[in-house]
Structure 1
Amino acid sequence: MRLGVLDVGSNTVHLLLLDAHAGAHPIPAFSHKVELHLSQLTDEQGAIVPSGIERLCYVVAHALRVAEDKGAEEMLAFATSAVREAANGDEVLAKVREETGVELEVLPGPDEAKLTFLAVRRWFGWSAGRLLVLDIGGGSLEIAVGLDELPDVMESLPLGASRLTHDRLKGDPPGPEELRELRRYVRHEIAKGVSRVARVGRPDRVVITSKTFRQLARIAGAAPSAQGLYAPRSLRARDLTEWVPRLAQMSTAQRAGLPGVSEGRAAQLLAGAVVADAAFDLFNVEVADLCPWALREGVILRRLDTLVS
C-alpha cells in the first residue's frame, strides 16, 4: 500500500510517500516539501500570526492534493513543536481541519524522540546494541537512549536550530558575546538530562538524524546525497569542534555556499552546530553515525505495526 506522511515542522512542511506493507521496509516513492519556517511566523505572545495560519492551510491543502494525485491510500499528518508550543495551537489545528479536512496529530516532544528512536533501531537492527539517538529539529532537540525498540529515556529540549537562531542570534554573523551566551544556555539545558541518560548505561552506538546533522556531516567530509541512501556517513566530535568557530565567522550567504547546505537552512546552521557540539561533549561522543530514517519513518513504522500481515 502507498502511505503518505505529512510532517508540519518548525522549518518545513514535508510530505513523504512510501510504498509499504507489514513485514517489509518502507520504500520512498515521492517527496514534496515547502520551507514555511512556521516557528518564526509568531507574534510577541508566541501565537502564530494569521498570515502564517493562512499559509499553512494552503500548503497542507496542496500537499493533500499531491498525495491524492500520487495514489496515497492513507495519509498520516502530524505537527511538532511549532504548533505544539504556539499560544494559539488549538486555533491553528481547528483552522487547518476546517479549511483542508486534515486532522493534524500534535506529537508531544517525548513521542518525537520515541518514534525517531524506533526508526533508528529498525534501520541499524539489534546488533547495534544500546543506542543513543540525537535529533536536532527546528524547534527542539530530541534525545533517546535504550536497548530495545522503545527507548528507556526520552528527552525533548527547546534547543531547535531555527528557534535558537530566531531568539538568540541577531547578528550576521553574530558577535562573540552573543555566541557565548548561546553556548552557555545550550550546555546548561543539555546538562540537565545527562545524568538520566548516563543511568541507563553507556551506549554501544551513537546515532544522529535530521537535516541539521546531515549538513554538518556533509561539510565535515561525509559522502554527498548523490552517493545514495546506503552510503555510510558519520560525524566526528573533533570536526564539530573545528567547524563551530569557522561557521561563527561566516555570514548566512557564505554558509549557503558550503557543500550540502541549502540557502533556507544556512542561517540556522551555526546554532545547530553549537547544539551538536554541546551534545557530543556532554555525552562523551567521539563519533556518531548518521541515520537516513527519522521521525517520518518512525510514524510510518508505527502504522505498519498495526497492520495484519
Structure 2
Amino acid sequence: MRLGVLDVGSNTVHLLVVDAHRGARPLPAHSHKAELRLAELVDADGAIGREGVDRLVATVTEAVGAAEDKGCQDVLAFATSAVREAANADHVLARVRAETGADLQVLSGADEARLTFLAARRWFGWSAGKLLVLDIGGGSLEVGYGLDEAPDAAVSLPLGAGRLTAGRLPGDPPDAADVRELRRHVRAEIARTVGEFSRLGSPDRTVATSKTFRQLARIGGAARSAEGPYAQRRLSRSSLEEWVPRLAAMTVEQRAALPGVSIERAPQLLAGALVAEAAMDLYGVDELEICPWALREGVILRRLDLMPAT
C-alpha cells in the first residue's frame, strides 16, 4: 500500500510518501517539506501566534494535497514538541482539523524516543545488540536505550536546536557568555538522566538520527547525502570538540558555507553541536553512527506492525 506520513515538527512540516507492506522495507516514493520553524513562532505566553497557525494550516493543506496527488491510501499525521507544548495546542489542532481534514496526533516526548528507537533497531538489526539512540530535533532531544524493539529507557528533554537558538543565542555570532551559559544549561539537563541509562550497562552500539547529527557528521568529513543511505557515516566526540569553538565564532552566513549545511539550518547548528557534544560526553560515547531512519520511519513501521496479516 502507499502511505503518507505527515510530520509537523519544530523545524519543518514534512510529508514522506512510501510504498510499504508488512514485513518489507518501506520504499520512499515522494518527499515534500517546508521550513516553518514553529519553535521560533511562539509568543511570550507560550502560544503559537496567529501568523504561525495560518502558515501551518496553509502548509498542511499543501501537504495533504500532495499526498492525494501521489495516491496515498492513508496519511499518518502527527505533531511533536512545538505543538505539544504550545499553550494554544487545542486551538491549533482544531483549526488544522477543520480547515485541512488532517487529524494531527500529538506524540509525547517518550513516544518520539520509542518510535525513533524502533526505526534504528530495524535499520541496524538484532546483531547491533544493546542500542543507545540519540535524536536532536528542533524542539527536543530524545534518547532511547535497549536490547529489544522497545527501549528499556526513553527520555525527552527540551534541548532542541531551534528552541535553544531562539531562546538563548540571539547574537550573530553569539556572545561568548551566552555560549558558556547555554553549555552549562545543556549539560545540567542531560546529567539528570545519566543515571537512568548508566544502570543498564554500556551499549554495544551508539547511533544518532536527525538533520543536526547528519550535518555535524558531514562537516567532520562524513559522506555526502548524494552517496545514499547505505554509505557509513560516523561522528566522533573529538571532531565535535574541535568544531564547537569554531562554530561559535562563525556568523550564520559562514556556517551556511560549510559542506552539507543549509541556510535554513545554519542558525541552529551551534546549539545542536553543543547538545551533541554534551550528550556524547556525559553518556560516555567516543563515536557514533548516523542512522538514516528516524521518527517518520518509526511511525510507518509501527503502523505496518499493527496491520492484519494477509
* TM-score normalised per structure 2: 0.99
Q: Give the number of equivalent residue pairs.
A: 309
Instruction: Report SS of the residue matched to 2:165.
Output: helix
Q: Which residue is equivalent to 2:208?
A: 208
**1:242-281 equivalent positions in 2, closer than 5 A:** 242-281=242-281
Q: Which residue is equivalent to 1:96?
A: 96
User: How many Å apart are 1:175 and its aligned residue?
Assistant: 1.2
Q: Which residue is equivalent to 1:14?
A: 14
Deviations 1:100-158 (A, max 9, x none): 11100000000000000000000000000000000000000000000000000001000
Instruction: Report SS of the residue matched to 1:54.
Output: helix
Q: Distance in 2 between matches of 1:42 and 1:204?
A: 39
Q: Which residue is equivalent to 1:155?
A: 155
Q: Which residue is equivalent to 2:60?
A: 60
User: How many Å apart are 1:15 and its aligned residue?
Assistant: 0.3
Q: Distance in 2 between matches of 1:43 and 1:275?
A: 24
Q: Which residue is equivalent to 1:69?
A: 69
Q: Distance in 1 between matches of 2:229 and 2:277?
A: 25
The residue identity in structure 2 corresponding to 1:270 is L
User: How many Å apart are 1:308 and its aligned residue?
Assistant: 2.2
Q: Which residue is equivalent to 1:174?
A: 174
Instruction: Report SS of the residue matched to 2:170.
Output: coil
The residue identity in structure 2 corresponding to 1:166 is A
Deviations 1:14-40 (A, max 9, x none): 000010000101011100000001111
Q: Which residue is equivalent to 2:198?
A: 198
Q: Distance in 2 between matches of 1:232 and 1:2?
A: 28
User: How many Å apart are 1:51 and its aligned residue?
Assistant: 1.1
Q: Which residue is equivalent to 2:228?
A: 228
Q: How much is the aligned-residue C-alpha RMSD, in angstroms?
A: 0.5
The residue identity in structure 1 corresponding to 2:237 is A
The residue identity in structure 2 corresponding to 1:296 is R
Deviations 1:200-258 (A, max 9, x none): 11100000000000000000000001111110111011001100000000000000000
Instruction: Report SS of the residue matched to 1:75.
Output: strand
- Percent of paired sites with the same residue: 67
The residue identity in structure 1 corresponding to 2:2 is R
**1:81-92 equivalent positions in 2, closer than 5 A:** 81-92=81-92
Q: Distance in 1 between matches of 2:275 and 2:38?
A: 21
Q: Which residue is equivalent to 1:40?
A: 40
Gaps of 5+ in 1: none
Q: Distance in 2 between matches of 1:213 and 1:44?
A: 30
Q: Distance in 1 between matches of 2:85 and 2:66?
A: 28
The residue identity in structure 2 corresponding to 1:146 is G
Q: Distance in 2 between matches of 1:183 and 1:51?
A: 32
Instruction: Report SS of the residue matched to 2:142.
Output: strand
Instruction: Report SS of the residue matched to 1:187.
Output: helix
Q: Distance in 2 between matches of 1:170 and 1:102?
A: 35
Deviations 1:55-90 (A, max 9, x none): 100100110000000111100000000000000001
Q: Distance in 1 between matches of 2:115 and 2:161?
A: 20
* TM-score normalised per structure 1: 0.99
Q: Which runs of 4+ in 1 moved over 3 A?
A: none
Asked if residue 124 in structure 1 is aligned to residue 124 in structure 2, the reply is yes
